[in-house]
Chain A
Amino acid sequence: MNKYQQANEQIRLSEQQKEAILNEIMSTETAPAGKSLPGFYRWAGIFAGALAVVLLMVLPGRMKPSASSNSTMNETMAMEEAADSETDMGMPAESVREGSEIAASGTYDAKALAADLHCSVPDFEHYPGAKTVEYTRTSETTGTIYVATEQNEFVVLIETLADPAAEEQETTAAAKADDETYEVLYEDETVRFSLFANNDMSETEREELKGFLNK
């Protein structure tokens, strides 16, 4: 045993600390991430289901509204209201596509978001260790990419810069200048990718992400 190991000998987790950690973890939700549907997909499922119910209700001549169908309608509306107010990730309502679009296209992927934002969007399905990737459009000129890897999760903010809606961009940029929670990782004349600071990334991983965005 070297001297550094000897010096470290006294630094041990006590039984009380182990018990405290155990109790804290036991009271924390730790379901494996891969075994439950990510929030966006869950909401997409709800939308698709709600849309199917609505279509059945409004198709002419199919059925007359009854007490039970009213109750189904109310549940549907309640679900839609809930989805309108906030998504599972706490994103604003406009981050979610209309129900019909979701039914038609499932959800955003890199290609769909790139097409809607008129800029390049990297395909994070190929990001090293990516387990869950969710693309979201948050306004005419902005979007987000949520990425969960085995050891971390982070959110990349996308802002298109060549869009004619310059006014909105300026507002976003001004808001961001005052907001230290974003770090610009990549920027060219058409798009800017920023990292939302509330993440568990090491310097190495940050560099890896920068490299990925720079490809």
Chain B
Amino acid sequence: MVVMALSVKELRIRRILDLYGDSLYRLACSYLKNEADAQEVVQDTVIQLLRYDPEFAGDAKKEKGWLMKTAANLSRNRLRSLNAHPSEELNEAFAAAKSSDLKFVWEAVAALPVKYREVIHLYYQEGYSTKELADLLGRKEATIRSDLYRAREELKTILKESYDFE
């Protein structure tokens, strides 16, 4: 029998990817709409975690919060640099590559401005409360609530205009 010796670092990375990989990847995709960029954000997020080695005292919620906040920051930075240097790849609609009956929901959210898109994603996908979102995004809770309200209003308009929903 071949026994593979895994290093502590490798085990730690695998654990992070198994536990939070999909959440981080979806968050990055919601910002970047591009799989390759999103994958790099996940990678950079894990690197930041290993490099700064923050203390979570076994609190998984804290750990996930830290990772999500870092991934959001890295995604915004990448988005800024992509906006400054637009690439063909970014213009391809990421959602179009995904075949799903509910693709239009993803596309409608993806059409929102970044500050609305991030609150919608973290609220509806990850289930964070407005208080948690305020902490994660560094905004006041009242601002998060009004952003959520405006995001929903804008989503209604997009769905009505683009998909003929009433």
Contacts of A1-56 to chain B: CB distance below 8 A? 2-13, 17-18, 20-22, 24-26, 28, 30-35
For the complex formed, measure the closest distance between the CB of A126 and the CB atoms of chain B, giving whole angstroms.
Answer: 18
Complex A-B, nearest 3 residue pairs according to Cβ-Cβ distance, in ascending order? A204-B138, A30-B50, A7-B102
Given contacts A13-B17, A151-B69, A202-B73, contact A8 B53 (CB under 8 A): no
Residues on B with beta carbons closer than 8 Å to the beta carbon of A4: 105-106, 109, 120-121, 124-125
Contact A200 B73 (CB under 8 A): yes
Contact B103 A22 (CB under 8 A): no
Contact A25 B47 (CB under 8 A): yes
Contact B51 A33 (CB under 8 A): yes
Contacts of B5-52 to chain A: CB distance below 8 A? 9-10, 13-14, 17-18, 21-22, 25-26, 29, 39, 42-43, 46-48, 50-52
Binding site for B on A (CB under 8 A): 2-13, 17-18, 20-22, 24-26, 28, 30-35, 131, 150-152, 199-205, 208
Binding site for A on B (CB under 8 A): 9-10, 13-14, 17-18, 21-22, 25-26, 29, 39, 42-43, 46-48, 50-54, 66, 69-70, 72-74, 76-77, 98-100, 102-103, 105-106, 109, 120-121, 124-125, 137-139
Contact B106 A22 (CB under 8 A): no
Cβ 8 A contact of B73, one of A11, A30, A31, A201: A201
Contact A8 B26 (CB under 8 A): yes
Name which residue of chain A comes closest to B126, CB basis.
Answer: A5
Residues on B with beta carbons closer than 8 Å to the beta carbon of A25: 13, 43, 46-47, 50
Given contacts A7-B100, A25-B43, contact A131 B105 (CB under 8 A): no
Q: Which of A30, A35, A152 has the most CB of B within 10 A?
A: A30
For the complex formed, measure the closest distance between the CB of B90 and the CB atoms of chain A, giving whole angstroms.
Answer: 17
